[in-house]
Chain A
Amino acid sequence: GIQVEQSPPDLILQEGANSTLRCNFSDSVNNLQWFHQNPWGQLINLFYIPSGTKQNGRLSATTVATERYSLLYISSSQTTDSGVYFCAVQGSGAGSYQLTFGKGTKLSVIP
Chain B
Amino acid sequence: EAGVAQSPRYKIIEKRQSVAFWCNPISGHATLYWYQQILGQGPKLLIQFQNNGVVDDSQLPKDRFSAERLKGVDSTLKIQPAKLEDSAVYLCASSYSINRVLNSPLHFGNGTRLTVT
- Seen from chain A, the residues whose Cβ lies within 8 Å of a Cβ on chain B are 30-31, 33, 35, 41-45, 48, 86, 88, 90, 97-104
A42 to chain B, nearest CB (A): 6
Expressed in whole angstroms, the Cα–Cα distance for A38 and B98 within the complex equals: 29
| CB closest residue in chain B, given A43 | B108
B106's partner among A30, A33, A100, A104 (CB-CB below 8 A) is: A33
7 pairs, A vs B, C-beta closer than 8 Å: A30-B103, A33-B106, A35-B106, A42-B108, A45-B107, A86-B42, A103-B42
| Cβ–Cβ contact B110 & A104, under 8 A | no
Given the known interface contacts A41-B110, A43-B43, the answer about A97 and B104 at a Cβ–Cβ threshold of 8 Å is no
Given the known interface contacts A42-B108, A97-B56, A98-B56, the answer about A90 and B43 at a Cβ–Cβ threshold of 8 Å is no
| Cβ–Cβ contact B42 & A45, under 8 A | no
For residues 94 through 117 of chain B, which have their beta carbon under 8 Å from a beta carbon of chain A?
100-108, 110-111, 113
Expressed in whole angstroms, the Cα–Cα distance for A104 and B59 within the complex equals: 20
Expressed in whole angstroms, the Cα–Cα distance for A86 and B42 within the complex equals: 7
Given the known interface contacts A86-B42, A101-B42, A101-B43, the answer about A30 and B102 at a Cβ–Cβ threshold of 8 Å is yes
A45's partner among B89, B106, B111 (CB-CB below 8 A) is: B106
Identify 13 new A-B residue pairs, CB closer than 8 A, beyond the known A41-B111, A101-B44.
A30-B103, A31-B102, A42-B108, A42-B110, A45-B108, A88-B42, A90-B101, A98-B56, A99-B33, A99-B45, A101-B43, A102-B42, A103-B41
| CB closest residue in chain B, given A96 | B100
B91 to chain A, nearest CB (A): 7
A48 to chain B, nearest CB (A): 4
Expressed in whole angstroms, the Cα–Cα distance for A44 and B44 within the complex equals: 16
